[in-house]
Amino acid sequence: MLFYGTELASPLMLGTAQYPSPEILADSVRAADAGLVTVSLRRESAGARAGQAFWSLIRDLGTPVLPNTAGCHTVKEAVTTAHMAREVFETDWVKLEVIGESDTLQPDVFGLVEAARILSSEGFKVFPYTTEDLVVAERLLAAGCEVLMPWGAPIGSGKGLNNVFGLRALRAHFPDVPLVVDAGIGLPSHATQALELGYDAVLINTAVAKAGDPVAMARAFRLAVEAGRLARIADPMEARDMAAPSTPLLGKPALS
């Protein structure tokens, strides 16, 4: 699947926050064989030595970068952050977040659509962090987005895919739109499930960064997305309500 005309090497997108050390972050990105990494502008303090070192580390990895507007709660804040990110990271790709509720970090979908419209008109390639709502999805596509990033569950919760019905409906309604499950994935099995549903990628951060062994967990997620993608391509069987014998009855001996 192409994301704004670009094919990623892997359906696994990896966040870069909360790792125990820069070395573990770098090793985790390599172990995940990530298709891209997300980076918050807030990690880059203008002129700060720590920020410059972090950006140098990310560049040295050679993995495509998707800046995000994490922590923004208003349209103005998100748009301004996107403009700054474009200058710092030298890309017009941006993961757009406009947070509307502090406890769940649920997107403000009204502000999200407005910010997406503004940024798209200014040449940004917007990856919106959204809900699985079909109407919101329509509005975002009309605003210029060519990718949708619905949440699986609240950010950092690790609950997996809370609304499988909604995510499946989104995939069915927009078969040609690149879809990424973003937020809430806690286990490799959750990532496999998302790919099996037909999603094109998953974005993981906390589940890897906060694992006891982030590098091993990154490797596990790499294998999980590969399994999910292959299972989808293989055209899995339909679920049944009743049992069906796996051994054919034809030729069964008649015992008397």
Hunting for tokens 């490799």 — which residue is that? 188
Binding site, residues? 156, 183-184, 205-206
Q: Is 48 exposed, middle or buried (0-12, 13-18, 19+ CB in 10 A)?
A: exposed
Q: List, in sequence order, every beta strand (DSSP E) within the chain.
A: 2-3, 6-7, 12-15, 36-40, 65-68, 93-96, 125-130, 149-150, 180-182, 201-204
Q: Does domain 14-233 have CATH number 3.30.390.30?
A: no
| Residue 26, CA atoms < 13 Å, CB-side half-sphere | 13
Instruction: Tell me the catalytic residues.
Output: 95
- Phi and psi angles of residue 96, each rounded to the nearest 5 degrees, phi first: -95, 120
pLDDT in tens, 14-39: 999 999 999 999 999 999 999 999 99
- Phi and psi angles of residue 116, each rounded to the nearest 5 degrees, phi first: -65, -40
pLDDT in tens, 205-245: 999 999 999 999 999 999 999 999 999 999 888 888 888 77
Confidence of residue 251 (pLDDT cuts 50, 70, 90): low
> Higher-confidence residue: 74 or 246?
74
pLDDT in tens, 155-193: 999 999 999 999 999 999 999 999 999 999 999 999 999
As a whole number of angstroms, the distance between CA 63 and CA 59 comes to 7
Q: Is 182 exposed, middle or buried (0-12, 13-18, 19+ CB in 10 A)?
A: buried
Q: Please tell me the pTM assigned to this model.
A: 0.89
Binding site for 1-deoxy-D-xylulose 5-phosphate, residues? 156, 183-184, 205-206
pLDDT averaged over every residue in the chain: 91
**Residue 202 and residue 185 in contact, taking contact as beta carbons nearer than 8 Å:** yes
Per-residue pLDDT, 249: 63
Query: Has residue 49 got a pLDDT over 90?
Result: no
